[in-house]
């Protein structure tokens, strides 16, 4: 609690003022809309005017609800009735007028700022809170960090508002670096800092984390916990008890995390106590939940020898995520590995420790590596890793570990095509089948063959494997031994070829289905990677060690960005590992050259050119906290399956439209076709030239 002599003697309801905002509806897109913040703002205003007894005239209430204001659940009290007629929409103009013009002119001791809605971090980690009139051309917002700096200066009346508390129920995720996200630059300036002003900040999430919102109940989890702590307290009681309330809220969310119920809030961030000192690190050991053991020196010595000279294996992120799961902990939301070396990862795991079961996170991580090393043929390293795990479990008296999951089995047919040495017509062709092992299943003999011949042979091989049975069974889950994916290794000139549209006999009456509807179909061009092999491998490894997801993993390339310098720009860093092409020209007009020169292993475009509609990000990426497609949530490693889903959905929609228009079930022509370039450098069978 704050000592009683710390609070201004006259602090009370009459000298308490507040900005209370709840934003549910945004002009930028209906996908930004969310339900709950307006109700949260009303409940906080009800506490201020109820138990805290703050006059309604001291509040500036800003609401932009999804429904009509009259449909909101307004608390039944004279004070809330007064606010019902005085509230304003949560536009940028109204926010600035209330916070920077009206409230600074008041004579008070305490300012509350309560905001519920979306939140993003800018390039300098400032918290930007979009207003209801945010539009694609200009995302109008409140820069909270700049506003709080302004409130510490002499532009606010001297001796007024020595106490200022900001309570924010919003996400604090990084704003995507995309031309559509134009926040601009907002800084409110300020005068000279006034000594003695104290600010308290309490956020619903830490940097990089999303806040949880219960849309059905119309409530944020942070606001629920906050109001439960404030309860029936007066102004003086609530201000003096804020640090204690923050400790309690922090403890509540930490316990949710320990129970695996705090996915989006693995940690609860409180910025500073009233005296500007961090208080969450003080005396928390007394209330800390039981934690796991940490590695001893003998374990570290063993890992130093095991990991010496070892690069991060491809399965490192899977091992990292499985360590949290098997220890009963939530995986960090940000995704990706915490370092570039195995010892860096283990150090991070050891510092985090583990769950209530007592298992250090580092031990299941090493156990996973051992299991995968055995599968990939590195038996010697697998045995040494397993010996380390067994010895550590026994020495530290740890519980038994469950076996790691086996790697997902994917059956792939690789189709290699190369032009003949003399430059004549046709192609030299070869096929491999890769499942539990890789085997060569066909090769063209004698003269080069046409693509029609390759197609017929591919269909024959699929029938033999069992992926395309002769009885024409219906589409559905692949039978055991069926083919999941077909990868075409082709010359550069064939990258835009419609392999996914090759007709496959399917069902009675001569019906055919497109190959790309039955299987994942991708194209590859590994022979064009010779000059950028290092960049290609580095980018793929970077993607794998982040589990396929990262805010910088995917880049949308617009027409104006396709220049002679694009390839060199893409090669500068491992990210992006995937390019989505929004270009009107055919992809050979510069884009694919840049992708290959830049060492980018994955790209998606529309066959023949033409900007995809809807945009590729809308088709492929899940929605983020704001309802918009989130590039950081797109799992690039699952794109072959995702593109097939999109192809199937497009074919179904087009067939339905055709039936409605013509009364027949024929498949329409001219529908949008996606092409996926998928160059996994670790999976290239038969690398010797067919020539």
Q: Angle at Cα 317 formed by Cα 312 and Cα 321, nearest 5°?
A: 145
Q: Where are the beta strands (DSSP E) in 437-544?
A: 438-443, 485-489, 503-505, 512-514, 520-524
Beta bridge partners of 113: 19, 166
Q: How confident is the model at residue 270 (pLDDT cuts 50, 70, 90)?
A: very low
**What does DSSP say about strands 512-514 and 503-505: parallel, antiparallel, or unpaired?**
antiparallel
pLDDT at 253: 75
Kind and range of the H or E element at 623? none
Q: How confident is the model at residue 175 (pLDDT cuts 50, 70, 90)?
A: confident
Task: Give pTM, 2 decimals.
Answer: 0.59
pLDDT at 491: 93
The lowest-confidence range among 58-62, 68-72, 443-447 is 68-72
Determine the Cα–Cα distance for residues 42 and 474; give it in Å rounded to an integer.
55
pLDDT at 287 > cutoff 60:
no
pLDDT at 659: 64
Token digits for 275?
A: 């005296």
Place of tokens 């030239």: 689
Token digits for 335?
A: 């995704």
Residue 156: Cβ-neighbour burial (10 angstroms; 0-12, 13-18, 19+)? buried
pLDDT at 330 > cutoff 70:
no
Q: Where are the beta strands (DSSP E) in 552-672?
A: 554-558, 578-582, 602-606
Q: Which residues of 55-91 are buried (b: 16+ CB within 10 A; e: fewer)?
A: ebebbbbbbbbbeeeeebebbeeebbebbbeebbbbb
Q: Is the CB of residue 570 less than 8 Å from the CB of residue 556?
A: no
Token digits for 12?
A: 């009370």
Mean pLDDT, all residues of the chain = 83
């Amino acid at each position: 609690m704050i000592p009683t002599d710390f609070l201004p003697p006259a602090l009370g309801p009459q000298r308490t003022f507040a900005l209370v905002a709840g934003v549910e509806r945004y002009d930028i897109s209906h996908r930004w809309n969310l339900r709950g913040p307006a109700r949260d703002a009303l409940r906080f205003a009800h506490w201020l005017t109820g138990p805290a007894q703050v006059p309604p005239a001291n509040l500036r209430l800003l609401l932009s609800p999804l429904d009509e204001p009259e449909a909101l659940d307004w608390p039944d009290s004279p004070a809330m009735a007064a606010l019902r007629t005085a509230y304003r929409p949560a536009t940028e103009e109204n926010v600035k007028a209330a916070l920077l013009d009206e409230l600074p002119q008041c004579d008070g001791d305490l300012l509350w700022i309560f905001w519920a809605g979306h939140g993003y971090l800018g390039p300098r980690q400032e918290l930007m809170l979009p207003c209801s009139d945010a539009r694609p051309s200009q995302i109008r917002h409140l820069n909270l960090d700049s506003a709080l700096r302004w409130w510490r200066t002499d532009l606010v009346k001297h001796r007024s508002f020595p106490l200022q508390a900001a309570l924010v129920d919003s996400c604090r995720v990084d704003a995507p670096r995309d031309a559509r996200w134009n926040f601009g630059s907002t800084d409110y300036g300020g005068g000279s800092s006034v000594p003695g002003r104290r600010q308290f900040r309490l956020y619903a999430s830490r940097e990089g984390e999303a806040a949880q919102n219960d849309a059905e109940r119309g409530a944020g989890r942070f606001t629920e916990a906050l109001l439960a702590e404030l309860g029936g307290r007066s102004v003086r009681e609530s201000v003096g008890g804020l640090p204690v309330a923050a400790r309690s809220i922090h403890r509540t969310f930490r316990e949710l995390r320990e129970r695996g119920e705090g996915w989006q809030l693995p940690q609860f961030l409180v910025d500073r106590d009233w005296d500007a000192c961090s208080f969450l690190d003080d005396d928390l050991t007394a209330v800390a939940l039981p934690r796991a053991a940490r590695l001893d020196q003998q374990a570290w010595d063993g890992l130093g020898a095991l990991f010496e000279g070892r690069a991060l294996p491809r399965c490192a992120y899977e091992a990292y995520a499985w360590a949290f799961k098997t220890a009963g902990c939530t995986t960090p939301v940000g995704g990706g590995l915490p370092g570039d070396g195995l010892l860096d990862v283990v150090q991070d795991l050891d510092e985090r420790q583990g769950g209530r079961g007592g298992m250090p996170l580092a031990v299941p991580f090493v156990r996973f590596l051992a299991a995968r090393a055995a599968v990939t043929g590195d038996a010697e390293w697998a045995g040494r890793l397993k010996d380390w795990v067994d010895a550590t479990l026994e020495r530290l008296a740890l519980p038994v570990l469950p076996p790691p999951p086996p790697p997902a089995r994917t059956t792939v047919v690789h189709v290699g095509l190369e032009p003949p040495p003399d430059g004549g017509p046709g192609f030299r062709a070869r096929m491999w089948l890769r499942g539990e092992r890789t085997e060569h299943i066909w090769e063209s003999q004698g003269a080069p063959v046409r693509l029609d011949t390759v197609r017929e042979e591919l269909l024959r091989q699929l029938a033999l494997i069992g992926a395309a049975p002769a009885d024409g069974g219906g589409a559905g889950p692949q039978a055991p031994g069926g083919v999941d994916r077909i990868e075409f290794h082709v010359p550069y000139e064939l990258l835009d070829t419609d392999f996914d549209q090759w007709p496959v006999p399917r069902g009675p009456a001569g019906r055919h289905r497109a190959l790309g509807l039955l299987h994942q179909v991708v194209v590859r061009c590994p022979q064009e990677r010779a000059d950028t092999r290092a960049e290609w491998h580095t980018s793929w490894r970077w993607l794998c060690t982040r589990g396929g997801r990262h805010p910088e993993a995917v880049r949308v390339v617009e027409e104006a960005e396709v220049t002679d310098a694009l390839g060199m720009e893409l090669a500068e860093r491992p990210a992006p590992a995937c390019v989505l092409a929004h270009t009107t020209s055919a992809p050979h007009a510069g884009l694919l050259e840049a992708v290959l020169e830049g060492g980018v292993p994955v790209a998606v475009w529309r066959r023949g050119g033409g900007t995809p509609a809807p945009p590729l990000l809308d088709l492929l990426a899940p929605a983020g906290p704001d309802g918009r497609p989130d590039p950081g949530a797109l799992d690039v490693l699952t794109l072959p399956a995702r593109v097939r889903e999109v192809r199937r959905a497009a074919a179904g929609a087009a067939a339905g439209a055709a039936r409605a228009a013509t009364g027949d079930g024929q498949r329409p022509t001219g529908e949008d076709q996606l092409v996926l370039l998928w160059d996994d450098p670790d999976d290239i069978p038969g690398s010797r030239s067919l020539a």
